[in-house]
Chains A and B, each alone.
Chain A
Amino acid sequence: MNLFRKIAFSAAVLGFMAAGTADAASKIVMDGSTTVGPIAKSFASYFTKTTGVQVTVSESGSGNGAKSLINKTCDIANLSREMKDKEIAAAKSKGVNPVEHIVALDGLAVVVHPSNRVQKLSKAQIRDIYTGKVTNWNQVGGPSAPIVKIQRESNSGTQDSFVSLVMGKDNPVSKRAETQASNGAVKNRVASTPGAIGFIGLGFVDDSVKPLKVDGVEPDERTVRNGTYPISRPLFMYTNGQPTGVVKQFIDLKNTAEGKRMISELGFVNR
């Protein structure tokens, strides 16, 4: 009797698993940027709750997201940058037609210790600080104290954006710049180090650090949305061809009131 019950139970489990695989059409697989990750994850849990469709989100970086889309192993690729021409060409050659959707906007706040009397920097000044050309705060209108530069790991999307939006290709970040692993860690170091400068996503800024005006523009939701704040970027989701069915429903979440609420709650800016 006991054995019989066991067999019946395993058969039932197998049956469920089979049902799960048979239902693959109503499942969404996402892969890509760690920056877009929080949006994708909160969209996913909301989507699963309301429609019952399973959504899996992997955060392996923008480059991997693009690769997954090209290899057709994901339905939606999250990228914190535009797809490169090389990647689009590779996609076309495999019969994949990447279509971009801008989910949200993200601004990078350049932050210093609250006691620092510097209020604003130009993009060129920030670049000079990070290349190591400017090493003391008194060269940019601050007190006489060495500058402690803090950057992110090389695999960070935030670091990517900072390098492409501020540094440019020919100005590598100084080797002396300290490296921290997350937005929170950078904020923590800046908050506890009087001479520090760092950059973090707009959503992470709070009273413990002071965001600087860049080129005279205060970083906030409004300036990021209207494009006047110079260090901001759109965040993308890419699909293979125009999305249909549940994927379209998922992408369209960004235009709903609930989607907008989630985006701004996470500290990103609605388009």
Chain B
Amino acid sequence: MKTEQACSGNDTEINSIVMSEDVRKESGRSGAFVVSAGKRKIQKFARTVGESTLLLIASFVAIVVFFIFYFVAVDAIPYFQLRGFAEFFTSTDWYPADDPGKFGALAIIYGSLMVTLGSTLLAVPMGVSAAICLSDILPFSVRQYAKPVIEMLAAIPSVAFGFFALVIFAPLLQTQGGPILMWAWWVLAAPFLLLAIIVISDLLTANMEDQNKRQMMSTTLLVVFGAAALGFLYWVGSVLRQIEIMSGTNALNVSIILSFMALPTIVSVSEDALQAVGRELREGSYALGSTRAETIVRTVLPAASSGILAAVILGIMRALGETMVVWMASGNSSHIPEPWFNYLEAVRTLTATIAGDMGEADQVTGSERYHVLFAMGLFLLVISFFSNLVSERIVVRQRKILSGQ
């Protein structure tokens, strides 16, 4: 036995020597990295162990997701068995402490959607513009410092954001609400209107033959539209200035703070997507005579659109799932604002309700009251699950379109 083993060992050793010589011939380097059979066995074993450990960890993460779904659903389903679906989704009466309690969550669901929509409307244009600026406009040396600073925004704990929203921003909205709204309107709307005017007057005059006439026409159009837009800006601004905000803890406050919290995710992920577009496409576009603006708008943005969309969805999820800020600063009144788009009224969100009502909602005293919170949790989970699925589909389709299939 021993001799046989030794023999086979020798054999392989000879083999490896032969191999190493082959390798040496081919690469011209030393064959030191070629190992003996025994060592190779150990390497193989180590590889199996390593791979299975990684697989175990990866599947553990997936199992955690599954278990969260399972345990939330197990406690959520009894609520629907007890009270049915109609009240939860159609009533706005949220009086969980009454006897018998009322569990209409419509206003709360609406509040969640309203706050998420508001923060998305603010964060997406800002975030994508910032990402474009970082990836295509700023020089490399500046970007290296600017991006970490923006990402630092994600490191601020949400309770710090909430404290700021409640103690500083809410009173500020109450005392300076009108002017703040007016300035925000100018800052946000003016660039967009300017862009729109330029594009519209360009498009309207595109068909003219005579160069001189066209120049004249487009300038006149620019002036006319510009004056109209300025008037519009001023009019809306002065209307906004008159608004007096009675309570600073409202949907607007929360939307603004949440948009800041979603920004680092959106900027960072969409900047990565824009970077991933690569030099070749950009240089190809320049070679065809495009300006930098045309390159960004017509080439880079469409090519990166799937990544930007993923960034936007991540940002939306961040806003939808945020609890501390909305609990502290949204005012928590469970009613649908009047009119429905009034961002200056207090709202209540699903996350804040779960956090706020958890204390006394034990399973013994008020079983419905306990399970309704899980029903809300399940609803949130399902929403984020589906939006993730949808975004995944869009990304895949976008990739197919771009690769020309």
Contacts and interface: CB of A to CB of B under 8 A. Distances in A.
A146 B346 CA distance: 14
Interface in A81-111: none
Contacts of B345: 176
Interface string B91-120: 011111110000000010000000000000
Interface stretch (B190-198, B307-315, B354-362, B378-386): B354-362
A188 B248 CA distance: 12
B15 to A, nearest CB: 49
A115 interface: no
Contacts of A172: 95, 98
A175 B362 contact: no
B357 A155 contact: yes
A89 to B, nearest CB: 15
A178 B331 contact: yes
B348 interface: yes
A179 interface: yes
Interface stretch (A10-18, A45-53, A57-65, A256-264): A57-65
B174 A153 contact: no
B364 interface: yes
Given A178-B331, A193-B247, A195-B246, A60 B360 contact: yes
Interface stretch (B4-12, B59-67, B165-173, B219-227): B165-173
A159 B174 CA distance: 26
Nearest to B107: A175
B143 interface: no
A189 interface: yes
Contacts of B331: 178-179
Given A60-B360, A64-B364, A196-B247, A154 B334 contact: no
Contacts of B362: 60-61, 63-64, 67
Interface string A34-50: 10000000000000000
Contacts of B357: 153-155
A172 B335 CA distance: 14
A61 B359 contact: yes
B268 interface: no
Given A155-B360, A179-B356, A192 B246 contact: no
B299 interface: no
B207 interface: no
A114 interface: no
In which size bucket is the chain A interface? 20 to 34
A163 B167 CA distance: 27
A64 B166 contact: no
A133 to B, nearest CB: 16
Contacts of A176: 333, 335, 345-346
Interface in A60-83: 60-61, 63-64, 67
B360 A61 contact: yes
Contacts of B365: 61, 63-64, 67
A179 B332 contact: yes
Contacts of B246: 145-146, 148, 193, 195
A194 interface: yes
A212 B95 CA distance: 27
Contact of A155 (B170, B334, B361): B361
A192 B166 CA distance: 10
B360 A181 contact: no
Contacts of A119: none
B255 interface: no
A180 interface: yes
A160 interface: yes
B98 A180 contact: no
B356 A148 contact: no
A188 B166 contact: yes
Contacts of B167: 188, 192
Nearest to A192: B171
A28 interface: no
B356 A181 contact: yes
Nearest to A172: B95
A177 interface: yes
B295 interface: no
Contact of A180 (B92, B97, B332): B332
Nearest to B247: A148
A194 B174 contact: yes
Contacts of B94: 175
A181 B174 contact: no
Given A63-B360, A175-B107, A195-B246, A155 B332 contact: no
Given A155-B97, A179-B348, A193 B333 contact: no
B351 interface: no
B247 A195 contact: yes
A34 B360 CA distance: 10
A178 B95 contact: no
A178 B346 contact: yes
Interface string A174-207: 0111111100010011001111100000000000
Interface string A131-154: 000000000000001101000011
B95 to A, nearest CB: 6
Interface string B321-351: 0000001100111110000000001101000
Interface of B: 92-98, 107, 166-167, 170-171, 174, 246-249, 327-328, 331-335, 345-346, 348, 356-357, 359-362, 364-366
9 contacts: A63-B365, A153-B359, A154-B96, A154-B356, A155-B359, A179-B348, A185-B328, A189-B170, A196-B247
Given A181-B356, A192-B248, 6 more contacts: A67-B362, A153-B359, A179-B333, A193-B174, A193-B246, A196-B247
Nearest 8 CB-CB pairs, A to B?
A: A155-B360, A179-B332, A175-B335, A61-B360, A154-B97, A178-B331, A192-B171, A63-B365
